[in-house]
Amino acid sequence: MLQRILPAASKKGNYVMSAEIHPTAVVDPKAVIDDGVEIGPLCVVGPDVKIGKGTKLLSQCSIMGDTILGEDNVIYPFVSLGGPAQDYEFAGHVSYLKIGDRNTFREGFTANCGTKAESETVIGNECYFMANSHVAHNAVIGNNVILVNDAMVAGYTAIGDRAILSGITAVHQFCRVGRLSMLGGCCAISKDLPPFMTCFSKNNTVRGLNIVGLKRNGYPKETIRALKEVYRIFYASHLNTTQALKRIESEIEQLSEVIEFVEFVRTSKRGVLSSHQRDTSAVND
């Protein structure tokens, strides 16, 4: 059974909150635990942790380091949050893991704090991290992101809102995955995956437009049609990047999604993924 306790107040003078904590859990008295938090059997919570109201630590998980957990998160057994960066540059200084609200962390998930002093790893809201997935130091994860089992996100990466990383996938350090894009199972990428695109079968290649994802998220036909043209021009026209972007800007209605694609490509430091094939059939999946 859980028992209701009153954790110690924080050093900043926060008023004392009540929470339900199992008698076998180890919670440092300096941790700041908000109302309605449930901490189950054999959980460990360190002194510099802050946990928002309604968050549930089901059992046997570890929250350490300078970690801030928002509200209504659910944390399953064997999750480890806030461990030191897995980086030789980490020298024991203060860095952070900041997590938003209503996320689910399934069994074996891990996320580390930043590498450099005062740096941070950031996870947004309403994400779903499946078993044994990993978010490395200084990564920035958007909202409504899904990491399927064994998906791995390396250091200093950026994953856009509503992106899906399928099972056994890997994103190389410093890479970006654009909004509403999808990385197919067993793929590994070392360049940027632009927004609204899919990468399947072959590493470092774009397969087509994420039409299923766009439809599921309520995008109108006009937007999908415009993004199909973006794909055709950028990936199936035999133009170089500069030529393709100019043609997209001159020939396609400049909807916000079209502009987002162009800006993503232009700001890429590692370059964007190339095309799986030089034809237009992939846009009709």
| 241-261 tens-digit pLDDT | 999 999 999 999 999 999 999
Q: Which residues pair with 129 in a beta bridge?
A: 105, 147
Report the C-alpha gap between 210 and 190 in whole angstroms. 20
- Burial of 178 (C-beta count, 10 Å sphere; 0-12/13-18/19+): buried
Tens of pLDDT along 82-113?
Answer: 999 999 999 999 999 999 999 999 999 999 99
Q: Which two tokens mark 7?
A: 């954790």
To which CATH superfamily is domain 3-156 assigned?
A: Hexapeptide repeat proteins (2.160.10.10)
Q: What is the pLDDT along the chain (285 residues), one digit of tens a residue?
A: 444 444 444 333 343 457 899 999 999 999 999 999 999 999 999 999 999 999 999 999 999 999 999 999 999 999 999 999 999 999 999 999 999 999 999 999 999 999 999 999 999 999 999 999 999 999 999 999 999 999 999 999 999 999 999 999 999 999 999 999 999 999 999 999 999 999 986 667 999 999 999 999 999 999 999 999 999 999 999 899 999 999 999 999 999 999 999 999 999 999 999 986 543 334 433
Per-domain residue ranges of the chain: 3-156, 214-284
**Which tokens belong to 1?**
């059974």
Q: Which single residue is written with the structure tokens 């995955």?
A: 177
Q: What share of the chain is helix, strand, coil (3-state, %, to 5)?
A: 15, 25, 55
| Superfamily for the 214-284 domain | Udp N-acetylglucosamine O-acyltransferase, C-terminal domain (1.20.1180.10)
Tokens encoding 79: 């999750």
What pTM was estimated for this model as a whole? 0.91
H-type alpha helices, the chain? 211-216, 221-236, 241-251, 256-266
Strand 208-209 relative to strand 197-199, pairing: antiparallel
